[in-house]
Amino acid sequence: MTSARRKSYGVKGAPYAFLLPATILFALFFALPIGYAVWLSLHKVQVKGLGLGAGARKEVWAGLENYTDSLTDSQLLDGAVRVLGYGAIVVPVMLGLALLFALMLDTDRVRLAPVTRLAIFLPYAIPGVVAAMLWGFLYLPDVSPFYFVLDKLGMPQPDLLDGGPLYFALSNIAVWGGTGFNMIVIYTALQSIPAEVYEAAKLDGATPLQIAIRIKIPMVAPSLVLTFFFSIIATLQVFSEPTTLKPLTNSVSTTWSPLMKVYQDAFGKGDIYSAAATAVIIAFVTLVLSFGFLRAANSRNKQEAAQ
Amino acid sequence: MPHTKLRRLVTISVAVTLGATALAACGSSDDNDSEADSGPVSLTYWSWTPGMDKVADLWNKGQGKKDRITVTVKKQASGDTLVTKILTAHKAKKAPDLVQAEYQALPTLVSNDALADIAGDVDGVKDKFADGVWQQTTLGSDAVYAIPQDSGPMMFYYRQDLFKKYGLEVPGTWDQFAETARALKKKSPETDLTTFSANDSGLFAGLAQQAGAKWWTTEGQKWKVGIDDAATQKVADFWGGLVKEGAIDNQPMYTPAWNKALNTGKQIAWVSAVWAPGTLTTAAPDTKGKWAMAPLPQWSQGESVTGSWGGSSTAVTTDSKHKSAAAKFAAWLNTDPAALTALAKEGGIYPAATTAQTSDAFTEPPAFFSNQKDFYTQAADIAKTTAPSAWGPNVNVAYTTFNDAFGSAAKNKSDFGAALKTMQGETVADLKKQGFEVAE
């Protein structure tokens, strides 16, 4: 064996060897579970007779049956509509507030900026389930201090855990928890805008408001796109807030959001096959929606750049 | 030198690969040993009863030492969560030797071939239990799939002081119960007798059982679902009527608001089971000594029947390599006087074994009910009147449908009969989907 031969082998093999750990981890913890979910979604259980005793249950091929069942299931559709309504409140309010706070923190005259920034960001550090429980207690008329105050003032006491207000109650939890994170992303982008841009604007006689609208917002557009992208995904996957509020009210059903339906099918009804099919559908919709949005945003950027 | 570098690289990649494989293998370690039954045997037991490890220690130091059978308890989440976990473990053929399972979960577990028939190992155990309790572990066959551990005969709990204050009588029948609710509303519009809660299906199932409902029965090789039968309709209409006219509350139990209502006397009664003192102790701590327990109201005067809410059993899995040894422990745990006393003391359970219900552990009333000296004597009498129950292979589906259908019916104060139809429909549809034959 000559050393030259060995050397050439080493050079050729090195990239693959470097790739190996990542590839193995990717296959084991990403590709394989997804593949298994798809495999499950194409199967179902078939029972014989009374279904008692050994060999009464068999796993059989189901084709696309689980998918058609899932897509024609009114519960899933209702859940999707509910989540759309929830997202229509959460995304604009949360991003609007995040942008507003970021712009305000970025002005020259702001005082105590680090403390304020931390205060707005802090709710993001609280786990979603804990936040939902906290708010849930505040929404319950019999134990909430808000209702106590409203009662003393003789003001109307809305039922926040029912009907339309429920959407606001749920959205409020998400907005409270998510605004800080999005604000930091936008604020960081604002900080990276070179100072001479502002100087030029000021020389041209722009007011702080004009600078904010004409310069700052267009320049942080990529961050806005990014936060919007994250928010859409988070909205489509909403699970912990409604699940935590569920025991407190009759108004949140076990299939309130699409992911809750997946959970319910898999662990409530013990039907992992339908749950897998629904999960694949949700993943697909999330992928299409979020990447569709990214593409649309990118092509607009390109058009603008071309002009 | 290049080749040493390469060697190091290969070593690292192999190490990473092995690490990844080890990670993937996590959680699938084998708890069973493969020795024959003659040698020392060690068993794993999944249970949610608090203090079960102390009871197992009793066995390991006494009977178990003689028989060379050691039991290790692994604490688990309760109820349905554990069923899911057992089924998942069973899929990988790694279920523990012994599991705790609620009675209504037994058909689901048996239908998944997760529970072993231990009829051959538990001779003479049957006589220790009331027929209605034992029958749940055989699923109407000659097999025995579990040994009853605890039971939850249902009772009526009320605030003795407030009943006196509002001039109310303890209702003996459900008609009187409705009258009591209305009378209370007249005297104190802010106060409710109780609430209809849609977040615990077990309560409704127990009430239906009392009325004589048989939700799942078999006809030859077919299942028959009777959720929408006359008895259950009667129960649904009764509670739906009370909610609709506003005689009782419609908000769920086990919420901070419910705790407060019980603690401040905004709700003054609770239809519950023998384990209620424990729940009330934490939910309404300020009302200690103010409650009393009475038999559940009856559908007709002079009857004495009750349903059951909760209760669980000890079962041996098909994956166990030492089924006889496991069955021996299950029988000891639920029939041996010392074990039952320890279970009652450490785990706070109400044993299913009839002799244990009047044993030394139950001479004193629960601390929360210190005013009712004969609490457990009455409880034992009520337990004897438990109606038989009939569980099927998809209780979980019926239960989750109950939560949603009755939840929205309670919220809208709409027809409970329609919600019951939904429950029946979904349960039958699920059975058919799985391939069961269903008798119409």
Taking 80 as the threshold, does the pLDDT of residue B76 lie above it?
yes
Comparing CA positions, the residue from B375, B333, B339, B334 lying closest to residue B358 is B375
Interchain CB distance below 8 Å, B435 and A268: no
Nearest-CA neighbor of B295 among B234, B385, B205?
A: B385
Pick from B17, B110, B404: CB nearest A255: B404
Q: Helix B52-61 to helix B323-335 angle, to the nearest 10 degrees?
A: 110
Q: Are residues B70 and B210 in the same domain?
A: no
Domain stops at, among B323, B338, B367: B367
**In DSSP terms, which residues pair with B153 in a beta bridge?**
B308
Tell me the per-residue pLDDT of B228-285, one tens digit each, with 9 for 90 and over. Answer: 999 999 999 999 999 999 999 999 999 999 999 999 999 999 999 999 998 999 999 9
With 50 as the cut, is the pLDDT of residue B16 above it? no
Q: Locate B104 and state its tokens.
A: 């209504």
Mean pLDDT score of chain A, rounded to an integer?
88
List A residues 140-159 in contact with B (Cβ-Cβ < 8 A). 140-143
Domain range holding A32? 13-61
Q: Same domain for B414 and B304?
A: yes
pLDDT at B292 over 60: yes
Q: Into how many domains does chain B fold?
A: 2
Could you tell me which residues come within 8 angstroms of residue A87 by beta carbon, excluding any fewer than 6 positions away? A232, A235, A236
Domain assignment of residue B28, yes or no = no
Question: What is the DSSP-derived secondary structure letter of residue B306?
Answer: B
The label of the residue with tokens 């931390």 reads A118
Residues A46 and A82 in one domain: no
B295 and B413 fall within a common domain: yes
Cβ neighbours, 10 Å, residue B381: 15
Mean pLDDT, chain B, whole residue set:
88
Residues of chain A in contact with residue B115, where contact means CB-CB under 8 angstroms, are none
Q: Which domain holds residue B323?
A: 41-152+309-367
List C-alpha distances in Å: A229 to A142, A180, A296.
Answer: 38, 16, 12
| CB A295 within 8 Å of CB A285 | no
Q: How many CA atoms lie within 13 A of B328 on its CB side?
A: 19
- Banded pLDDT at A79 (limits 50, 70, 90): very high
Contact call for A140 and B400, based on CB within 8 A: no
Residue A113 lies in a domain: yes
**Quick one: B171 and B273 in the same domain?**
yes
The C-alpha atoms of residue A196 and residue A208 are separated, in whole angstroms, by 15
Report the chain A residue with the minimal C-alpha distance to residue B318. A54
Q: Give the integer Cα–Cα distance in Å for B148 and A158.
A: 48
Chain B, nearest residue to A54 by Cα: B113
Domain co-membership, A165 together with A301: yes
Provide the pLDDT for residue A47. 87
Residue A299 has which token pair? Answer: 């092509």
Q: What is the DSSP string of B120-157?
A: GG-TT-GGGB-HHHHHHHHTTSS----EEEEEEEEEEE
Specify the DSSP class assigned to residue A307: -
pLDDT tens-place string over residues B107-150: 989 988 899 999 999 988 999 998 888 988 988 788 999 999 99
Which of B318, B333, B367 is where one domain is finished?
A: B367
Q: Is residue B26 scored above 50 in pLDDT?
A: no
CATH number, domain at A126?
1.10.3720.10
Burial class (CB in 10 A: 0-12, 13-18, 19+), A36: exposed
pLDDT of residue A5: 53
Rounded to a whole number of angstroms, the distance from the CA of A58 to the nearest CA of chain B is 10
Regarding whether A199 and A77 lie in a shared domain, the answer is: yes
B179 and B98 housed in the same domain: no
Q: Determine which of A48-57, B12-21, B251-260 has the lowest per-residue pLDDT on average.
A: B12-21
Q: Is residue A5 part of a domain?
A: no
Q: Which residue has the tokens 């190996």?
A: A20
ipTM of model: 0.82
Work out the percent of chain B whose per-residue pLDDT is above 90.
Answer: 69
Q: Are residues A57 and A78 in the same domain?
A: no
- Look at B2 and A249 and tell me if their CB atoms are within 8 Å: no
Which chain B residues are Cβ-neighbours of A46 within 8 angstroms?
434-435
Same domain, B248 and B302: yes
Cross-chain Cβ contact A253/B318 below 8 Å: no
Those of residues 150-189 in B touching chain A at CB distance below 8 A are: none
Indicate whether A52 and A137 sit together in one domain: no
Q: Are residues A32 and A93 in the same domain?
A: no
Taking one residue from A and the other from B, the number of pairs with CB-CB distance under 8 angstroms is 137
Number of CB atoms found within 10 A of residue A31's CB: 11
**Quick one: pLDDT band at residue A10, thresholds 50, 70, 90?**
low
pLDDT for the residue A208: 86
Q: What is the pLDDT of residue A7?
A: 55
pLDDT at B440 over 80: no
Identify whether B1 is part of a domain.
no
DSSP for B336-392, please give it: -HHHHHHIIIII---BSBTGGGGSGGGSSPPGGGTT-TTHHHHHHHHHTTBPP----
pLDDT band at A57, cuts 50/70/90? confident
Nearest to B261 among A50, A142, A248 (CB): A142
Q: Is B251 on the interface with A (CB under 8 A)?
A: yes
B286 or A164: which carries more pLDDT confidence? Answer: B286
| CB within 8 Å: B254 and A247 | yes
Question: Nearest chain B Cα to A141, which residue?
Answer: B257
Residue of B nearest to A3 (CA): B3
Residues of B in contact with A250 (CB under 8 A): 198, 250-252, 407-408, 410-411
Is B318 touching A (CB cutoff 8 A)? yes
Q: Is residue B22 part of a domain?
A: no
Taking an 8 Å cut-off on Cβ atoms, the answer to whether B13 and A264 are in contact is no
Mean predicted confidence (pLDDT) in B281-308:
94
Residue at A247 is within a domain:
yes
> Out of A167-171, A254-258, A282-286, B346-350, which region has the weakest mean confidence (pLDDT)?
B346-350
pLDDT tens sequence across A115-131: 988 999 999 999 989 99
Do A130 and A48 share a domain, yes or no? no
| Residue A51 and residue A80 in one domain | no
Structure tokens at B185: 């509303």
In a domain, B186, yes or no: yes
Q: Quick one: B119 and B202 in the same domain?
A: no
Task: Over range B93-110, report the average pLDDT.
Answer: 93
Q: Specify whether B58 is located in the same domain as B200.
A: no
Look at residue A175 and tell me if it is in a domain. Answer: yes
Please indicate whether, in this complex, the C-beta atoms of A28 and B396 are within 8 angstroms of each other: no
* A44 and A110 co-located in one domain: no
Per CB-CB distance under 8 Å, the chain A contacts of B141 are 52
Q: What is the pLDDT of residue A162?
A: 83
Residue A248 in any domain: the answer is: yes
Sequence-distant (6+) residues with CB within 8 A of B379 are B153, B155, B274, B293, B350, B357, B362
On whether both B73 and B135 belong to a single domain, the answer is yes
User: B194: pLDDT confidence band, cut at 50, 70 and 90?
Assistant: very high
Q: Is the pLDDT of residue A9 over 60?
A: no
Interface list for A 247-306 with B (CB within 8 A):
247-251, 253-255, 264, 267-271
The verdict on residue B145 lying in a domain is yes
Tell me: do B193 and B322 sit in the same domain. Answer: no
Tell me the pLDDT band of B30, cut-offs 50, 70 and 90.
very low
Q: Which of B13, B23, B407 sits opposite A253 (nearest CB)?
A: B407
> Which residues of chain A have a CB within 8 Å of the CB of B107?
52
The predicted pLDDT at position B18 comes to: 43
The answer on pLDDT for B3 being more than 70 is no
Residue B370 near chain A (CB below 8 Å): no
Chain Cα centroid distance, residue B412: 29
Is residue A171 within 8 Å of A235, Cβ to Cβ? no
pLDDT at B10: 47
pLDDT tens digits, B397-432 = 999 999 999 999 999 999 999 999 999 999 999 999
- Which among A49, A143, A249 is the nearest to B221, CB-wise? A49
How many domains are there within chain A? 2
DSSP annotation of B293 reads E
pLDDT of residue B434: 87
Q: Are residues A55 and A119 in the same domain?
A: no
Query: How many Å lie between the alpha carbon of B263 and the closest alpha carbon of chain A?
Result: 12
Mean pLDDT of B351-356: 90
Q: Are A24 and A91 in the same domain?
A: no
CATH code at B276? 3.40.190.10
Claim to verify: residue B179 and residue B291 sit in the same structural domain: yes
| B11/A contact by beta carbon, under 8 A | no
B218, closest residue in chain A (CA to CA): A50
Give the per-residue pLDDT at A114: 87
Q: Which of B160, B387, B369, B195 is nearest to B296 (CA)?
A: B387
Residue A106 has pLDDT above 90, yes or no: no
| Residues A211 and A252 reside in one and the same domain | yes
Are B202 and B60 members of one domain?
A: no
Beta bridge partners of B71: B43
